[in-house]
Structure 1
Amino acid sequence: MPRYARAEREALADLLLALGPDAPTINEGWVTRDLAAHLLVRERRPDAASGLLLPPLRGYAERVRLRLAARPYAELVAQVRRPPVWSPVSNPLADELVNTMEFFIHHEDVRRAGPGWRPRELPPGLQAALWKRVGPLARLTLRRFPADLYVQAPGHGEISVGRGGEPLRVVGAPAELALFLSGRQRVARVQLDGPAAAARQLRNANLGM
């Protein structure tokens, strides 16, 4: 069975080491050190990880992240590369399901912040795995968008979501749709077909979690 989560984790760790602690990411205000610390909060600090989703706890999660970010950078990356087996999100039973899209997206957060980047040629199996996660993500992030949205990955399928209105189609490879729907619209290679105003609103919407 392919282990796409492990492959993306290893590739991200290699890139983090190659670029060093102060390289840019596409996450506003974050450099590579910040991104590495975020991943450690998610995997190693269950007391703070809920703050990644729950606004009342975000202050605590950020304080924990900043303390982690102050550690030696090589240590941070080593811990990203080798997650604890006890972690709810990275144990062997959960890893592929929970981390395939997570680590693909964060790998691209670093890759696409540099000059001259191009989309990677991804294995068909990875694109298929990402497509399985695009549907739930689309329903979560676009359910209130004021249009009939059709999220389409040629060769994989189509999902309809939104609150109704003029139709707007979002077309791209599963990997690009995953980036778009997680709030990385400015670097995602997707095509929007429909009313210009709705397309502009979607490109500038605060998507992701």
Structure 2
Amino acid sequence: MSLAQRERHALVATMTEAGPAAPTLCGTWTVHDLAAHLVVRERRPDASVGIVFGPMAGYLEAKQAQIAQRPFAELLELVRTGPPWWSPLRPVDAVANLSEMFIHHEDVRRAEPGWEPRQLAERDEARLWTALRAVARTAYRKSPVPVVLTSLQGAEIKAHRGDGDAVVLTGTPSELLLHAFGRDEVRIAATGADADVQAVLATDRSV
């Protein structure tokens, strides 16, 4: 079973435990809203293009609201079973859904007070490091200063180049990936000039 599949099953278990009205780190979305989002993304390609194509955002929002009317248990079962056979996401689930499932799992976990990072296997952290490489430059493209991402083992990703001294963000691949996707509930260390560090941490990191 791929890491994406394991995170998918763990996400559904965490959603079930949290309940439909529980908060998430996705703005005002509840767990029920997040489940509806995942169903739209995998089962309504006509609407899911609105995730990245602004003019379709209204249609996406309408379809997501419609799907959110379904019972919570039904939505969770659709999330658990993953993309249907006809979905273009199904053949590439292990790659295309890795970050999606991991990050949204943490969106539910970390919306609760007292959360702690999970201890992931080294091979899983390695997979997340690969995922981080794929999005790092996009995530930090708006940074006003150079940004370097560094793992605890010393591996580096130059996420944003430019003039001046870089801000270095250090942590496990899982924590750095969450930060790259705009989450602030993370355990990372940031070094550099104070003003530069604050600027990087406040940067819009939407991918």
TM over 0.5: yes
- Structure 2: state its 5+ residue gaps: none
2:138 partner letter: L
User: Share of identical aligned residues, percent?
Assistant: 40
After TM superposition, the structure 1 = structure 2 runs for residues 34-183 of structure 1, keeping only pairs within 5 Å, are 34-83=33-82, 84-89=84-89, 91=90, 93-155=91-153, 157-164=155-162, 165-183=164-182
1:151 partner letter: L
2:147 partner letter: L
After TM superposition, the structure 1 = structure 2 runs for residues 178-193 of structure 1, keeping only pairs within 5 Å, are 178-184=177-183, 186-193=184-191
TM-score (norm 2): 0.95
Report the secondary structure of 1:160's partner residue.
strand
Offset, 1:191: 0.8
Offset, 1:142: 1.4
Tell me if structure 2 keeps the 8 A contact 1:145–1:163.
no
Report the secondary structure of 1:88's partner residue.
coil
Q: Does 2:29 align with 1:30? A: yes
Offset, 1:85: 2.4
Report the secondary structure of 2:35's partner residue.
helix
Tell me if structure 1 keeps the 8 A contact 2:41–2:48.
yes
Report how many aligned residue pairs link the two structures: 205
Tell me if structure 2 keeps the 8 A contact 1:176–1:189.
yes
Cα deviation code 1:54-73 (max 9, x no counterpart)? 11111111111111111111
Match of 1:16 in 2: 15
Distance, in Å, in 2 between the alignment partners of 1:110 and 1:156 is 30
CA 1:105 to 1:55, structure 2 compared with 1: closer, same or farther past 3 Å? Answer: same
Distance, in Å, in 2 between the alignment partners of 1:208 and 1:9 is 22
The worse-fitting range, judged by mean Cα deviation, of 195-204 and 174-183 is 195-204
Offset, 1:197: 1.2
1:125 partner letter: R
Tell me if structure 1 keeps the 8 A contact 2:11–2:105.
yes
2:170 partner letter: V
Tell me if structure 1 keeps the 8 A contact 2:143–2:203.
no
- Structure 1: state its 5+ residue gaps: none
Tell me if structure 1 keeps the 8 A contact 2:143–2:199.
no
Offset, 1:166: 2.5
Offset, 1:189: 0.9
Offset, 1:163: 4.1
TM-score (norm 1): 0.94
Offset, 1:198: 1.5
Cα deviation code 1:14-35 (max 9, x no counterpart)? 1111221100101111100010
Offset, 1:156: 6.2
Report the secondary structure of 2:204's partner residue.
coil
2:189 partner letter: Q
Tell me if structure 1 keeps the 8 A contact 2:176–2:188.
yes
Tell me if structure 2 keeps the 8 A contact 1:180–1:188.
yes
Report the secondary structure of 2:8's partner residue.
helix
